[in-house]
Structure 1
Amino acid sequence: MTLNYHDVMTADLSSFADVSGAWKKMGERFGELKTDYEKHVQGVLANGNWQGLAFGAQQQNASATAFEYGAAKAEALAIASLLTDAQTELTRLQKAVKDLVEDAEKKEYKVDSSGKATYVGYDNLSPQERFSFQHDPDHSRLLADARDKAQGWTDEIAKAVKAVDAADQSVKRALSRATSDVSMDGIGIGGFNTKAEGSLAKAGKEDPKPGKEKEEGWVSETDSEATGPGVGTDASGPNVGKGKLAEAEAHADLGRAKAEGTLTNGPMKLAGEAEAYAGAKASAAAGITNEGAQAEAKAFAGAEASANGTADAGPVGVYARAEAMAGVEAGVNAGVGLDGVQLGAEAFAGAKGSVGAGADIGGIGAGVTAEGWAGPGAEASLNASKDANGVWHFGPKVGISPGLGGAVGFEFTVDPGKVVDTVGDAAGAVGDAANWVGDGIGSLF
């Protein structure tokens, strides 16, 4: 919510000090609880009399609990500090607005409840003075001058109010960040934030806006997003007109984060992307349209992360990617249509990591993928499909793991647009060479 003039003038900021003191006291209490827990619970059970798998599991959970007590202390003390900074900054800016209003009133300008200033000095004229003023040759100019100055006061007050709102928004961002735990420490995502920042100047900064920033010939573009925790479901269909038979999805997300960026300098381009997810999700869909038929069902529970990067110099490029997963997943899909053919099935429980690398020349690429599995599973797929960018992907993949194992696959890509550009560039180069040869021969005669 954006603060207005009335909000700023009537806000009572005196309670910030009491609230900040309460948060500080609570943080110190969490520190005492951490010490007591480590001494009287975790320490007592670790006296050497208890051994085995159950003891190991208990100690692991106890360590996470002790960590969260410490994280709770850090978070509470950071919030206490932020509230102190907030009171100082908001009080200063609120006073600036009130001082402006006071100065305007001293110069016979009245400020209404919306922050608009009006000159009222002429209202206090005696009847004789009013008559003289109304017949003054400069009457119209004086009225216009008073209106211009009144608008100037109105603009200055609005600017000061906007500064208060900007500070209020920074406090909101800082408090939200202080209470958001996105690390896997302790009990994982969603616990207390041990890295909470207590400085409003640092924690309240706006998120950098995606854009281009040129530096020494390189142009960069970046973008990032993070969501969670959250739960939800969705279902639709059938829709005969669009060929959709049915579709359903459900998720319980602990957290999701994604970041991507590019660096470009003439024909050279570096690009990278990273993504992480933790939670559970399941979906099923089927449909038949004039472009083909598709059916799939899949489910996942656990955590997964991936990173990939590309480097291109004109028509030549290389790529690499890495992925990791821990959890349970299963899926089956089949489809045929204008965008290709897909056929596959997989089931896995445990942890696995994969890497892939390849090269692209003039829009035609080839690569290899390899996976290592720790857990039982099996997978087989055959893919020939076109992605959203119009690039065709071809590749078989097979794998099996009774306990330890993996999968291997090959992939081929064709980018029709890039192929056309490469052919066009080559044709242009041949044409230039022909013209050069012709000019050389002509010069001999």
Structure 2
Amino acid sequence: MTLNYHDVMTTDLSPLADVSEAWKKMGDRFGELKTDYEKHVQAVLGNGNWQGLAYNTQQQYASATAFEFGAAKVEALAIASLLADAHIELIRLQKAVKDLVKDAEEKDYKVDSSGKATYVGYDKLSGQEKYALQHDPDYSQLMADARQKAQGWTDDIAKSVKAVDDADQSVKRALARATSDVSPNGIGIGGFNAQAEGDLAKAGKPDPKATITTHGWVSEGESEASGPGIGTSVTGPDAAAGKLAEAEAHADLGRASAEGSLTNSPFKLAGEAEAFVGAKASAAGIVTNEGISGQAGAFAGAEASAKGTADVGPVGVYGRAEAKAGYEAGANAGLGIEGANAGAEVFAGAKASVAEGADIGGIGAGGTVEGWAGVGAETEATLGKGTDGKWQIGAKAGAAVGLGGAVGFEVTVDPGKVSDTASDAVDALGDAAGSVGDALGSLF
């Protein structure tokens, strides 16, 4: 979840220090348990009085248990160190945001609950002073300057908030890596992490993108894997941010994702893939000046998806494929200034879907076909702006009792790509006109 301005300004970070100390004590205790186990279990049973196949098997598992106690100590102490580093870094960055807001307010800029600054210095003027200001020949320019400076404060605050969120994401990565055991040592993969890194600067780095250039083609890619793991989060109600409540819980047996691209202008190929095994559930309700929305859902099972695009200049094609097996249920509805959406689904069984479409100059159209084996029904309608910035119009419906499926359509408009295409077209026309003029001039 991305942190917003209100989160940064209101979150109490002091518990991180207490939790860090608790994890340190836990790590020390695991070290004591390892010593006690080796002394009072392994050593006693390994005194030579017990021999044979059963003894050898017991000693093998006893060694694995002792190893896990030691690994638990390493993991707990690493987490303690990460939380201590996180406390220091997040406190520093949070203070930077608050200091920036304080500076803005001292210069007569009011900052609202979303981090937007507005100049209010003119509100302090008397009635006569306001009248004189409004009839000043430079009044329009003064207002424009005030808005420009206010936008500057808003942008600076947004950058500071993003710095906090970047640090928070770094902590998230570090903690996930510290609790992920991919070593066959001890009880094997999925135990405690004996190689857990406690330095936040090292453990929290994003996975580097691999970049390779061959015969003019440039390839970039990155991947991420985690699990097993469990987690929950609950926020709200939050009147200032317009959030009623939000809750999420997950139990991952494993999850992985990868993305990459291959470019040789004007050709570009790009793709993403992800997989998940486990269970997850979430619910949220939000009411703001931009609209109202609510959603709830649950899933248990396995799912995998892949999508890719191929572009040549402004023309491109895309495709998506997805497969699921398990149980899911969900509902969503929303209405705001950037569109509306509604849908519901319930399903038990397995399903696979394929979507294909084409995009020309930022305007795309495509269709979806799904095959179901199970029992369920689904309906969905969308009209509005997606998280990727594209405007979308789409619908999908389906049902199955045994065998069945769903069909849908989608139309997308990417304002940025449409603008770029129009700009390129204007440049091309200008170049063509210039060429024709040069040709005519050469004739005479």
TM-score of Structure 1 vs Structure 2, range by shorter chain: 0.5 to 0.7
1:391: how far off? 1.1
Deviation at 1:341, TM superposition (A): 1.0
Q: Does 1:214 align with 2:213?
A: yes
Matches of 2:378 and 2:185, distance apart in 1: 41
Inter-CA distance 267–352: structure 2 relative to 1 (3 Å threshold): same
Matched, 1:381 2:387: no
Q: CA deviation at 1:443?
A: 2.3
Alpha carbons of 1:319 and 1:220: their partners in 2 closer, same or farther (altered >3 Å)?
Answer: same
Q: Match for residue 250 of structure 1?
A: 249
In the alignment, the residues of structure 2 paired with residue 380 and residue 312 of structure 1 have an alpha-carbon distance, to the nearest angstrom, of 31
Q: Which residue of 2 aligns with 1:89?
A: none
Residue 431 of structure 1: CA displacement? 1.2
What residue number does 2:3 align with?
none
Deviations 1:177-200 (A, max 9, x none): 335999xxxxxx969xxxxxxxxx
SS state at 2:183 partner: helix
Query: How many Å apart are 1:390 and its aligned residue?
Result: 1.2
Query: Residues 340-378 of structure 1, C-alpha deviation per residue, up to 9 Å, x if partnerless?
Result: 211101110000000011111100011110000001110
Query: AA paired with 2:368?
Result: T
Deviations 1:32-80 (A, max 9, x none): 99xxxxxxxxxxxxxxxxxxxxxxxxxxxxxxxxxxxxxx99xx9xx9x
What is the aligned partner in structure 1 of residue 278 from structure 2? 279
Unaligned runs of 5+ in 1: 1-21, 23-28, 34-71, 80-171, 183-188, 192-206
Query: 1:411 corresponds to which residue?
Result: 410
Residue in 1 that maps onto 2:346: 347
Alpha-carbon distance in structure 1 between the residues aligned to 2:331 and 2:180: 44
8 Å Cα contact 1:235/1:248 also seen in 2: yes
**Is 1:399 equivalent to 2:398 in the alignment?**
yes
CA RMSD of aligned residues (A): 3.5
CA contact 2:309–2:317 (8 Å) conserved in 1? yes
Question: 1:358·1:366 contact (CA, 8 Å) conserved in 2?
Answer: yes
3-state secondary structure, aligned to 2:324: strand
Offset, 1:419: 0.5
Native 8 Å contact 1:180 1:190 kept in 2: no
**Equivalent residue, structure 2, for 1:313:** 312
- Residue 10 of structure 1 aligns with which residue? none
**Aligned-residue offset at 1:439:** 1.9
Name the structure 2 match of 1:227. 226
8 A contact 2:268–2:311 mirrored in 1 = yes
Match of 2:250, SS? strand
Cα distance in structure 1, aligned partners of 2:415 and 2:427: 18
**CA offsets 1:65-98 (integer angstroms, 9 cap, x no match):** xxxxxxx99xx9xx9xxxxxxxxxxxxxxxxxxx
Conserved in 1, the CA contact under 8 Å of 2:181 and 2:190? no
Deviation at 1:441, TM superposition (A): 1.9
Contact map agreement 2:182 2:190 (CA 8 A) in 1: no
Listed one character per residue, the Cα deviations across residues 94-137 of structure 1 (whole Å, up to 9, x for unaligned) are xxxxxxxxxxxxxxxxxxxxxxxxxxxxxxxxxxxxxxxxxxxx
Q: Describe the shift of the 1:343–1:269 C-alpha distance in structure 2 as closer, same or farther (beyond 3 A).
A: same
Query: 1:293, 1:336 within 8 Å by CA — same for their partners in 2?
Result: yes
- Secondary structure at the residue paired with 2:387? coil
Write the letter of the residue equivalent to 2:395: P
How far apart are the structure 1 equivalents of 2:287 and 2:351? 34
Shift of 1:250: 1.1
Change (3 A) 1:283 1:173: closer
The aligned amino acid for 1:277 is F
Matches within 5 A, 1:37-436: 176-178=182-184, 209-436=208-435
Shift of 1:444: 2.4
Measured in 2, the distance between the counterparts of 1:278 and 1:339 equals 33
Q: Cα 1:280–1:290, aligned 2, differ >3 Å: closer, same or farther?
A: same
Runs (5+) with no aligned partner, structure 2: 1-45, 47-52, 68-177, 192-205
Q: Is the 8 A contact 2:180 2:228 kept in 1?
A: no
Note if contact 1:308-1:319 (Cα within 8 Å) is conserved in structure 2: yes
Matches of 1:367 and 1:179 in 2, distance apart?
49
1:270–1:179 CA distance, 2 compared to 1 (3 A):
farther
What is the DSSP-based 3-state SS (H/G/I as helix, E as strand, rest coil) of the residue aligned with 2:404? strand
Give the Cα–Cα distance (whole angstroms) in 1 for the partners of residues 187 and 354 of structure 2: 29
Where 2:240 maps in the other structure, the secondary structure is helix
For 1:400 and 1:179, locate their aligned partners in 2 and report how far apart those are by CA, in whole Å: 47
- Equivalent residue, structure 2, for 1:441: 440
Q: Closer, same or farther in 2 for the Cα pair 1:180/1:222, shift >3 Å?
A: farther
Would the aligned equivalents of 1:382 and 1:396 in 2 still touch at CA under 8 Å? yes
Query: For residues 149-182 of structure 1, what are the alpha-carbon distances to aligned partners after superposition, in whole Å with 9 as ceiling and x for unaligned?
Result: xxxxxxxxxxxxxxxxxxxxxxx99984335999
Q: What amino acid maps onto 2:184 in structure 1?
A: A
TM score, norm. by length of structure 1? 0.55
Would you say how many aligned residue pairs link Structure 1 and Structure 2? Answer: 269
* Shift in CA distance, 239/419, structure 1 to aligned 2, threshold 3 Å: same
1:383-422 per-position Cα deviation (integer Å, ceiling 9, x unaligned): 1232333111211111011211000001111101100111
> For 2:400 and 2:376, how far apart are their aligned partners in 1?
5
Task: Give the match's secondary structure for 1:326.
Answer: strand
Give the C-alpha shift of residue 246 in structure 1: 0.7
Following superposition, the deviation at residue 337 of structure 1 comes to: 1.4
Residue 328 of structure 1 aligns to a residue whose secondary structure is strand
Q: Distance in 1 between matches of 2:333 and 2:181?
A: 47
Letter in 1 for 2:415: P
Deviation, 1:308, is: 0.8
Whether contact under 8 Å (1:190, 1:254) holds in the other structure is no
State the identity %: 61
TM-score, normalised with respect to structure 2: 0.55
